[in-house]
Amino acid sequence: METKQFGLNDIVEMKKQHPCGTNSWKIIRMGADVRIKCQGCGHSIMIPRNDFAKKLKRVTEQAPKED
């Protein structure tokens, strides 16, 4: 099974839609837990990395790489 690659400041699409109506999230913190911020209403949540990987549908926009 292919593992999805995601990084800090990436814009991701989750499998379930947020109650505000959008499905776009920005990764704002990574570690054992991942904090994501809704691009529609600005609400942020923190979920364990394993749960995040299961609920992730795809990475829609990757953050520019720093050299």
Question: What per-residue confidence (pLDDT) applies to 27?
Answer: 95
What are the residue ranges of helices labelled H in the chain?
Answer: 49-55
Question: Do the domain assignments include residue 50?
Answer: yes
Question: Do the domain assignments include residue 6?
Answer: no
Range(s) of the domain holding residue 30 = 13-61
Q: CA-to-CA distance for 26 and 6, rounded, in angstroms?
A: 11
Question: Do the domain assignments include residue 3?
Answer: no
Question: Do the domain assignments include residue 7?
Answer: no
pLDDT band at 4 (very low <50, low <70, confident <90, very high): low
* Alpha carbon of residue 23 to chain centroid: 10
Question: Do the domain assignments include residue 21?
Answer: yes
Question: Do the domain assignments include residue 35?
Answer: yes
List, for residues 9-55, the tens digit of each pLDDT value: 999 999 999 899 899 999 999 999 999 999 999 999 999 999 999 99
Contact 3, 50 (CB under 8 A): no
Q: CA-to-CA distance for 31 and 40, rounded, in angstroms?
A: 24
pLDDT band at 1 (very low <50, low <70, confident <90, very high): very low
Number of domains composing the chain: 1
Question: Do the domain assignments include residue 67?
Answer: no
Secondary structure (3-state) at 15:
coil
